Chain A
Amino acid sequence: MKSHTIMLDINGDSRIVTVRSADTLLNALRGKLGLTGAKPGCLNGDCGACTVNVDGWPMKSCLMLVVEAVGKKITSIEGLKQAPIQQAFIENFAFQCGYCTPGFIMNCHSLIEQYPDADDTTIKEWLESNICRCTSYIEIEKAVKSVLKRN
């Protein structure tokens, strides 16, 4: 069983894919499913560029085997359709190069879904999971807070 044909629930679609047991979710999303929004960064669970949403929680897709994702609802950045946090990133110019942006948006989106009234401590705790080399942290904070405020 070194390779498996599995069905994944991604962005509301059922997708059948043949993968190695050793493939990470990130590998499968990008290499097998053509979903290149989750970005490979450190591949070590440190940078958060590959963050997606699994069953409502943020997940670093480089830290999950794709075979572990069977039966779970996966949402990647491609699955967000004009979510409020996406618009807020634009309005607050919460990026520069944009490489970390999908990961940040997916983490922020999960935070807003789980904690619509998140306080500063919770925001900081969650967003420490992602790194922005362009240091857009202030703008990202403003973007998240603008959505939370609307809630």
Chain B
Amino acid sequence: MLPFNFDYYTPKTMKEAVDLYQDLDQQGKQPMFFSGGTELITLGRINLAYTEAVIDIKDIAECKVMQVSGDHLFLGSSLSLTRIEEANLFPLLTKTVSEVADHTARVKITLGGNICAQIFYREAVLPFLLADSQVLIIGPDGEKIIPINEIFQEQLRLKKGEFLVQVATETQFIGAPYFSVKRRQQWETGYPLITMAALKIDREIRVAISGLCPFPFRSKEVEASLNNRGQSVEARIDRALAVMPTPILEDVEGSAKYRLFVLKNLLLDVMAALDGVRVR
């Protein structure tokens, strides 16, 4: 039960949702778009999230799309992670999201909700960063299609009144060799220490990482280091570690030093899996 009241709206069209947001914002209701809603429900309960108007976008047809059309896969933002796993249209995405929270929670957590979450892991974004996907966003200025690597800088840079509608991914990335792993402090449940997703395309390895920094990222500098085939694997990984973004997280899940230790081993695993190179 949430300790505050709010109005609840279920718009049927994107325009209706956008107009509602603007009206409610003008009324000072601090409106919030809502899909799975797990974050509002859990953070709201302990007064870390607040709204007076919830706009549930689950009934909007465009947000429920899941189809391959032409050479793109389109995934709606209100699809639950379980539905994405069951359909398995993008194996790297399936593998990555299958480690988020737990199975029952993933019936409720949505693709858009995870990508736009306050919680810093936001692991569902990793495969899309690797696949140079594009996002469809709607807001007061209308529809926009933007490369995810442009608009996702630590988080999805939505303007006020905008929401994520769909993610489009070229099918050439969907069939590419991939690697995805989530390392936890211990056992097989709980928050990640580090989650890494990797893809090999055009003989180049791409990596995206969550849990190392207080935001998920894909780094061109890191990838350039890993793909510098003139050097030994150890040298490439050492160079990649030297150009990681900062700050490195230091929290109850693990110290910065331990995270970098785990990361180094994960990068060795990536190189072995996708490049066939092993260090004895």
Q: Are chains A and B native binding partners rather than an unrelated pairing?
A: yes
A interface list, Cβ under 8 A from B: 1-2, 4, 20-24, 27, 43-45, 48, 51, 54, 57-60, 62-65, 67-68, 107, 125-126, 128-130
Summed over the interface, the residue pairs from A and B with CB atoms below 8 Å come to a total of 81
Instruction: Give the contacting residue for A2; candidates B5, B44, B102, B189; CB below 8 A.
Output: B5
B45-A44 in contact (CB<8A): yes
The residue on B at minimum CB distance from A60 is: B104
A4 surroundings in chain B (CB, below 8 A):
8
Collect the chain B residues with CB atoms within 8 Å of residue A59's CB. Answer: 104, 107-108
Taking chain B's interface residues, is the majority helix, strand, or loop, or is none over half, making it mixed? mixed
A22 — which chain B residues lie within 8 A by C-beta? Answer: 1-6, 44
CB distance from A8 to the nearest CB of B (A): 15
Across the two chains, which residue of chain B brings its CB closest to A111? B103
How many angstroms between the C-alpha atoms of A21 and B7 in the bound complex?
6
| Complex contact B82–A57 (CB within 8 A) | yes
Whether B102 lies near A129 (C-beta < 8 A) is: yes
User: Which residues of A lie under 8 Å from residue B45 when comparing CB positions?
Assistant: 43-44
Task: Give the residue of B7, B37, B44, B188 whose beta carbon is less than 8 angstroms from that of A128.
Answer: B188
* 7 examples of A-B residue contacts, CB within 8 angstroms: A22-B5, A45-B38, A45-B108, A65-B54, A126-B103, A126-B104, A129-B105
From A20, A23, A58, contact of B104 by CB (8 A) = A58
CB pair A60 B105 closer than 8 Å = yes
Distance in Å from the Cβ of A24 to the closest Cβ of chain B?
Answer: 6
Q: Shortest beta-carbon distance, B147 to chain A, in Å?
A: 32
**Cβ of A44 and Cβ of B105 under 8 Å apart?**
no
Give, as a whole number of angstroms, the nearest-CB distance from A67 to chain B.
5
On whether the beta carbons of B37 and A65 are closer than 8 Å, the reply is: yes
Indicate which residue in B41, B104, B105, B188 contacts A24 across the interface (CB closer than 8 Å): B41
Q: Bound complex: CA of A126 vs CA of B98, how far in Å?
A: 11
| Contact, CB under 8 Å: B6 / A21 | yes
Residue of chain B at shortest CB distance from A131: B189
Task: Add 5 more A-B contacts to A21-B7, A22-B6, A59-B108 (CB < 8 A).
Answer: A21-B54, A24-B41, A45-B38, A48-B102, A63-B108
**CB distance A67 to B42 under 8 Å?**
no
> Smallest CB-CB separation from B38: which chain A residue?
A63
Cα of A67 to Cα of B54 in the assembled complex, Å? 11
* Cβ B107 vs Cβ A58 within 8 A: yes
Complex: chain B residue closest to A26, CB-CB:
B1
Chain B residues contacting A27 (CB-CB under 8 Å) are: 1
Known: A62-B41, A63-B41. A128 touches B102 (CB 8 A): yes
Q: Chain B residues in contact with chain A, CB under 8 A?
A: 1-9, 37-38, 41-42, 44-45, 54, 56, 58, 82, 98, 101-105, 107-108, 188-189
Say whether A51 contacts B7, CB under 8 Å. Answer: no
Name which residue of chain B comes closest to A23, CB basis: B1
A23 to B9, CA, bound (A): 15
Contacts of B5 in A (CB 8 A): 2, 20-22
Smallest CB gap from A40: residue in B: B1
Partner of A1 from B1, B8, B58, B108 at Cβ < 8 Å = B8
Chain B residues with CB under 8 A of A58: 103-104, 107
Q: Pick the most buried of A22, A24, A54: most chain B CB atoms within 10 A of its CB.
A: A22
Question: Is B7 a contact partner of A45 (Cβ separation < 8 A)?
Answer: no
Q: Nearest 7 pairs between A and B by C-beta?
A: A129-B104, A21-B8, A22-B2, A129-B102, A2-B5, A58-B104, A1-B7
Residues of A within 8 A of B82 (CB): 57
CB distance from B96 to the nearest CB of A (A): 15
Q: Which residue of B lies closest to A57 (CB)?
A: B107
Contact between A45 and B42, CB atoms less than 8 A apart: yes
Give Cα A43–Cα B5 distance, bound, in whole angstroms: 18
A45 and B101 in contact, given A24-B1, A63-B108 (Cβ under 8 angstroms)? yes
CB distance from B160 to the nearest CB of A (A): 22
How far does the alpha carbon of A44 sit from the alpha carbon of B43 in the complex, in Å?
9
